[in-house]
Structure 1
Amino acid sequence: MSDTIAVASSEVRIRNLHKVFGGREVLSGIDLDIPAGSVTAIIGPSGSGKSTLLRCINHLERPDSGYVEVGGEVIGYRPEKGRLRERSSRDIARQRASIGMVFQQFNLFGHRTAAQNIAEGQLAAGVPAAAARARAGELLKRVGLAGREGAYPSELSGGQQQRVAIARALARDPRLILFDEPTSALDPELVGEVLAVIKQLATTGITMAIVTHEIGFAREVADQLVFLDGGQIVDRGAPADVLDNTDNERARAFVAAVL
């Protein structure tokens, strides 16, 4: 990494982001700002780089060039004499603690209860066990699962497991939450209960970036809609502008096919 950097002005600031897998450029010069307290929905065809973009934001994937800032701090790197140098693994872990992430496949520990899954990160950060348990109970109530503290993932539906995963992402009061197609692994009848929780979160002022194929949901919840294709942002703007009035032929065809 040898990119020069500038002063941040948004909660999330992405500049000239490139990522290559096996000789194929998955992200090709992404520039994106996500204002504090806003919701950005990211749509596009499979293989367009949407999930990779999210994983670069919290440094689960290491960019090949370019950089990501969250809250004015470069993620994974530290500025040094106008250049970016890799941070220590401990420092990167500290940065990730302020960025919650909800995955497609829930990623819950099967041998731990709902409350234990939620408390895990707090305990690792040194939060007393009693406080971590209390926080887990509060968050389960918030996502509509009050009284399910002792349930194991195998005893929960897919929608309930994803709601536990959302509660886990909230446990350390992140400044940003990333959702990577949070309903794609759910049966259709369970999608609504997860989207309802995310809609409620969108009213709280937390900054959110959501990769989704739920176009109606994106229209309703997002402040900004980003259409990604071939590793590039080909359209962005207010949801109605991108979904109804785009001049981009690829975006228009994708939206028509999804709807």
Structure 2
Amino acid sequence: MKTQTLYISDLDGTLLNSDSVVSPHSIEKINALLHRGMHFTVATARTPATVIPLLQQLDLNMPAVLMNGAVLYDIRRRRYIRTNGFTDDSALRYIERLEKRHLVPFVYRIDDNKLHVFHKTLSNEMQRTFKSQRENTPYKDFILTTDYREELLDRPPLFILVIDLFDRLETAAAEIARTGKCSLFCYRDIVDPRYGNLEIYPQGVSKAATAQQIIDSLNPWEVVAFGDNLNDLPLFGIADRRYAPANAMDEVKQQATAIIPDNNHDGVARFLDQDYR
């Protein structure tokens, strides 16, 4: 039995199906394995506001990597274990560059164990949908501001998210990458590829860097990772084995040890059921 294997899975496009939920079949299979001692956790771009309700039926007992590594989070106790945010005013400089390109960033900061998301007037329907699906929870609130500097000068943020047309984001990402020292993830939306997400973190922040803290604590014999998108590649880089669902991006499949069934056919749970023996 592989009691010293650590399994780490991405959520969207990997453990979650196209309805953005963990299927009843996956819940049943994974819980049965967790009760037998399997070491399993998740690494995702999501925040506690959506992760907690999505995973409430899974009996996870290990810290989770959230916000692409910006935080290490205890889902069971609902608390932040560690945060990896900006410590200087560089985030404000990135925000200024984004605003010069008429892009509206969502800027994340933690105060008293709650996530605050600052933003100016939203400019497209994708942004408005993103906000409406995530507000009114006890774990996150959205705050309309007229001045990011006023909100952030003395308390730097965790990270910055921009949702807009992908071509516009790609151009902005290239400019910031040339002039700043930060970790950037720019990728297309899986539902509407015309749009995309640009995420800006302090230099060195990634799913892999924060997952390494779990690895160092557990000291497993091997690490197995599951992912479908470009922001999963750093995690693949520290894994002994890497698995991509059939729906994954081609760049991710090329780095995978093997391809597993897609996220609508319980690929991760089916693999775990066969592998953890």
TM-score, normalized by length of structure 2?
0.31
